Chains A and B, each alone.
Chain A
Amino acid sequence: DAGITQSPRHKVTETGTPVTLRCHQTENHRYMYWYRQDPGHGLRLIHYSYGVKDTDKGEVSDGYSVSRSKTEDFLLTLESATSSQTSVYFCAISERTIPSDTQYFGPGTRLTVL
């Protein structure tokens, strides 16, 4: 199993509060990703990182920001949480070397915004 941890695993917060989710990997993979999973939508990419301090937007990036100051850590921040951001958040990593472009996923964080 890929060494990916996410913290916290569960969080309940109130609308308008800031929230930061952390993804930590021990694989030294260059690429890291944040997804959200919602019923009827599958998984949708929020942001991804292709190196330290190198990030880019995904499909549903509005309301989210990310940071990556070290190879092993990728943080997802909700500056002011809204109820529409209640979801399960997954972090993923990949090592961009042919042929291995598979993304491996962390255990997920269940976030509830009241």
Chain B
Amino acid sequence: AQKVTQAQTEISVVEKEDVTLDCVYETRDTTYYLFWYKQPPSGELVFLIRRNSFDEQNEISGRYSWNFQKSTSSFNFTITASQVVDSAVYFCALGRRPNTGNQFYFGTGTSLTVIP
């Protein structure tokens, strides 16, 4: 069975603090994909990053960084020097590719509030 756990339901930080959002996944597939999406208060889902299961390189994009560790089945997301605009719900997702289409399994999301 596939499962994604985001144990942190809500996080509040003061602006300019660093914050890490945790994501733990379960799958028996050897090939899978991991994603992070951002859902700002306006409601749309914004794609942030995609990772293949065979690519464990960490990635940095501006103030965002992602730490993928297969040994612990985790794909954590860190925001450095947080800003008010980072306030949103963040979803981690696991994607697998059966014969037809891609199936995504989402975590329940972490609501981040950045306090000015």
Contact = CB atoms under 8 A, between A and B. Distances in A.
Interface string A33-51: 1000000111111001110
Given A105-B45, A107-B44, A42 B91 contact: yes
B43 A108 contact: yes
Nearest to B46: A105
Contacts of A50: 100-101
Interface in A48-88: 48-50, 54, 56, 58, 88
A18 B100 CA distance: 29
B104 interface: yes
Given A99-B52, A102-B47, A107-B43, A48 B101 contact: yes
Contacts of A56: 100-101
Nearest to B107: A42
Interface in B1-51: 4, 6, 33, 35, 37, 43-45, 47, 50
Interface residues of B, number: 24
A101 interface: yes
Contacts, number: 62
B97 A101 contact: yes
Contacts of A49: 101
Nearest to B96: A101
Contact of B101 (A31, A43, A102): A31
Contacts of B104: 33, 43, 45, 92, 103
Interface of B: 4, 6, 33, 35, 37, 43-45, 47, 50, 52, 91, 93, 95, 97, 100-104, 106-109
Interface of A: 31, 33, 40-45, 48-50, 54, 56, 58, 88, 90, 92, 94, 96, 99, 101-105, 107-108
